Amino acid sequence: MGKDDISLIKHALEDAPFGVAILDYQSKLIWLNDVIENYVGVSSTELIGRSRMTLPPEFEWLFNPEKRFFLPAASNRRPRWLKATNRTLHLPQATACVHYYTDVSAEQQLRQERDKLNGELEEVSLRDPLTGLPNRRALLHLLEPLVARSRRYHNALSVVRINVGNITLLAQKLGAAAADQIINNISLKLRDQTRWADHIGRIGYGELLMVLPETDETAARGLAEKLIKNINETEVQAAHDQHRPKVELHVGVSTWVNGDDAKRLIRKAEHELLAHTVEILNKTSSA
């Protein structure tokens, strides 16, 4: 590369607001602008004429930069994100490769903040705000791979729907806050008494859903009865207040069979729960 060519390139690029590094055909650094000096924290005179083989690994990015990469902090430089592009120049007497580096730290920070917010929104959208349990959407996400596993390996899989049948009456008699507390208390007791592999979520105002992997129908019904009995025995309302309605818990159990998907499995439990509720109402009205 002739001196006039180098001089022309220097004048064109030395005041550029982005970093520029020029390498010759042997991949040796032949020129850097002041922005690059600021990035690396050393004078260009210490780098010009050097190749990747004669410089420490921390300068590797000058020779083979990724599209977007993080340049960590050093004693005399701050950390930053850089975006790199390159172009090969074919001049009459030589060939050179020019690397351009743009500081995108501010843009990267905005991306990270956006991703964090999106993650928080996603977390909120998958959590029931009252109980902190997974909501219906989250439970469907959990169920789908479990159903796929049962479809492939025929593993047992059951769900249990637990409904506070008189939650509307409780809210009317006790107030919405007290009714919410009842739901929250029930969810806490369910979480405390289930296995680590089980999942519990809230899918409606007074309705909770348990997802029980590796659990057949008999075991699921036995577990549901045990949990309901325990909740009834401990009482979720104040025992001394005789005017408070008793909490009525209804249960529907569904076990995976061939042809079920996640939504169908949940609907089957709902149908049993509704049938059970109607049966209880019929017995009450005929008594």
pLDDT in tens, the chain (287 residues): 555 565 676 677 778 889 999 998 888 998 899 899 888 888 888 999 999 899 998 899 999 888 999 998 877 778 999 999 988 877 777 788 899 999 999 998 888 888 787 777 666 688 888 898 999 889 998 999 999 999 999 999 999 999 888 888 888 888 888 888 889 988 988 888 888 889 999 998 889 999 999 999 999 999 888 888 888 776 544 444 556 678 888 889 999 999 999 999 999 998 888 766 545 444 544 54
Work out whether strand 95-103 and strand 157-164 pair parallel, antiparallel, or are unpaired.
unpaired
Two structure tokens written together for 86: 């390159």
Return the pLDDT at 151: 93
- Chain-centre distance of CA 97, in angstroms? 41
Residue 72 backbone dihedrals phi, psi, to 5 degrees: -65, 165
Return the pLDDT at 6: 59
| DSSP helix/strand/coil, 8 | helix
Say which amino acid occupies 42.
Answer: V
- Give the chain's domains with CATH numbers: 3-108 (3.30.450.20), 130-286 (3.30.70.270)
Burial letters 191-211, b for 16+ CB under 10 A, else e? eeebeeebbbbbbeebbbbbb
Q: Which residues pair with 212 in a beta bridge?
A: 158
**Ranges of H-type helices in the chain:** 3-13, 34-40, 105-125, 136-153, 167-174, 176-193, 217-234, 262-286
Return the pLDDT at 44: 87
Q: What is this structure's pTM?
A: 0.56
Return the pLDDT at 103: 93
DSSP collapsed to 3 states, 171-220? HHHHCHHHHHHHHHHHHHHHHHHCCCCCEEEEEECCEEEEEEECCCHHHH
Return the pLDDT at 210: 93
Return the pLDDT at 18: 93
Cβ atoms within 10 A of the Cβ of 21, count? 28
Say which amino acid occupies 277.
Answer: T
Return the pLDDT at 211: 94
